[in-house]
Structure 1
Amino acid sequence: MLSPTLVLEVGIAVFLVASVGLLADRLRFSVIPFFIIIGMVLGQHAPQFGLVDLTFAESKPFIDFMGRLGVLFLLFYLGLEFSVGRLMKSGKSIVTGGSIYVLLNFLAGLLIGWLMDMPFKEKMVLCGVMTSSSTAIVAKVLTDLKRTANPETEIIMGMIMFDDLFIAMHISFLSGLILTGGSSFWSVAGTSLLALGFILAFLVLGRKLVPSIDRLLQDKSSELFILVVFSLLFIIAGFSETIHVAEAIGALMAGLVFADSKYIKKIEGMISPYRDFFGAMFFFSFGLSIDMYTLGGAVGWAALAALVTILGNVASGYFAARFSGRKPKSSFDIGFTLSARGEFSIIMANIGKAGGLLPVVQSFVVVYVLILSVVSPLLTKESRNLWNALFGKNDAATKPKKTLAQLEESVKLKSEIKSEEQ
């Protein structure tokens, strides 16, 4: 039986999420750490005031389901934005820089997992967590700093696309490794190959259905339009879950199919509010599941991992800048921007939780994401100043300022030349 205060509790939860979101916007910070922190503070140890239970014990299953929808909308929207063709057109520099980025961060995950003496499954989750940059935070930072038109931004977004492609494959691998409970190499390999086959089949066969989908959506009211889109999204995601492929991958594949629709702009416009709302509830529900008093043991390791991530990303940014012919100082812009961690790290942490992995993985991810989602935007904002402080300004590229006498002499000379020509 549903609690009589369910709607009230959900309303309070949404109000609190909106409040910290407004605070984050006022402080010009990423909203993601604020959503997680308010969930932790109001989780297992929050007080109860009469009918209002700030632990959200009764409403937590419903809030968790809202968060689950948030994952689907986040991945579906990513699929709408993603294009393999665009990635190939981004150039060799993007693929090379993206490969180095993935390799360095994956190795960093192996290093931290080895230092923490974690089992193989936990190490693989850590590798994914430390490799997955936050597309949402990166896009927001670039917009807030008005850097969307900068030359290095094309490199950053290309590397993000490459990383997202890798993360999609890694999530499918984790699904086979963790969610199916397989213990032998062949059972894990079989499930992983099934996930890979599901992805490839969707890329090949799904796109052939786009003309039929377009005809289905043609001249439909907004109500019917969104019902058709939602029904296909949930059916595809639900079907993928039944064959032990993470439902997030199903949502991503659905997005990739709809990306070729001639109604792509209308779909994006309708999905965006749902992505933002349910995405916020996803981070809040993740915070509710965390006991903040158990995070102490993960703080040191997460801080070390964050430092390794930043250094590795600056190194990958250096190579990406070099291969694309950019100045070395662009490595700070690229590396610091890509260091943000958020939604995909938490998705993989939730896979680990669903598979019954060690609780320290959850604690580690919470602190790691909180550190980088706050520090990365700050470093990105000060990237130019940090470069100048460490390596100095490029005086050769700076034109010396002319004195007033020099400017007058220049004007006089131009006037004389013009008189002679006449």
Structure 2
Amino acid sequence: MTTYSAVELIRSKRDGHTLEPDAIRWLIDAYTSGRVADEQMSAMAMAVFFRGMTDAELSVWTQAMIDTGERMTLPGLARPTVDKHSTGGVGDKITLPLAPLVAACGAAVPQLSGRGLGHTGGTLDKLESIPGWRAELGGDEMLAQLRDVGAVVCAAGTGLAPADRKLYALRDVTGTVESIPLIASSIMSKKIAEGAQGLVLDVKVGSGAFMTNEPAARELGERMVALGRDAGVRTVALLTDMDAPLGLTIGNALEVREAVEVLAGGGPGDVVELTLALAREMLALAGLDADPAEVLASGRAMDVWRRMIAAQGGDPDAPLPVARHSEVVAAEASGVVQRMDAMALGVASWRLGAGRTRKEDAVQAGAGIELLVRPGDRVVAGQGLLVCHTDTPEAFTAAREALAGGIEIGEQSAPPRPLIIDRIV
């Protein structure tokens, strides 16, 4: 491989030039192996933040990140493989009912997930509230579970796109997290490396999402779909609303309970709607002709859920953790709930102990928020709007501060927002 000057590449991108494919491959490889210093890659990340990347640059950049590690193969599966990724939101527990549902419809779902950081929860944190459940699986264990159960949700191994782990940590401390090309390459390098034949992306937009405005979310979705297509992975994205939380719960064990309600045939309408919409997209990519609504109603998805949890050491019948303290937040005035800001509620849940500030922090399994009303509901002064749960009652004050102004009550209801805004192919 030709050797380049990191400084010259930084200057080139800083000045708005397009980087050559070989130069990108060298840069990613050299950074991952330590030949390019953190401060140099920080400068490159900032140059990309301001100058962006062409589609061709982004495709090479993403593939170069994949090439720093292994690409999983899933041999011997009789089922088509399809995965889903969400860009993250408040109360987004969709993976929990979705993976067993799509498996019950005949696909294999290898769902490598992460932990929460900040106001958005992590799927692994939620599942770890189930007594005995473990996130760390070896490759052979994962493959065996896919064969036997059809679905697995576990932590990604260290061998997948190691360049992404290193670069993500750097972006987090250099103010370059919000770069759309760097977000797209971060997500897609890992998802492509997972080896699934199809991928459905749930791109959130709204106050509680990574992308708060629709044009930016749409650009992210379009660029990720193009990356999947370039890599030979059938990919589609749904643009979905995240101005209000999904469902009626925010927090780890609380969200597991709600996911089980969905699998049992109940649960909030928005969680059911999005679960079924994503399931239909996944099944279409997998080439399977099944009705996920019928499968959900039949109880077959619940059967897969129980087997999936038990296969990873969890007890699907064990009581879920409950926080030691709770406090009701009541309406200060009568009227119609016009808005429940997802960011405010997510931050409040995080302060109650459901999330973490640093990756090494512990989370409280029972902490979080239960919503007693939704936007559009009429309330009277003194009526409960939500319940805060925590093991550390001193957190209630900070949670209330986060909620200030986040719940708006007025005379008339605001027009409802569609949950699914658009489909990107």
TM-score w.r.t. length of structure 1: 0.25
Determine which structure has more spread, i.e. the larger CA radius of gyration.
Answer: 1
Which has the larger helix fraction?
1
TM-score w.r.t. length of structure 2: 0.25
Which has the larger strand fraction?
2
Higher-RCO chain (CA-CA 8 Å, sequence separation at least 6) = 1
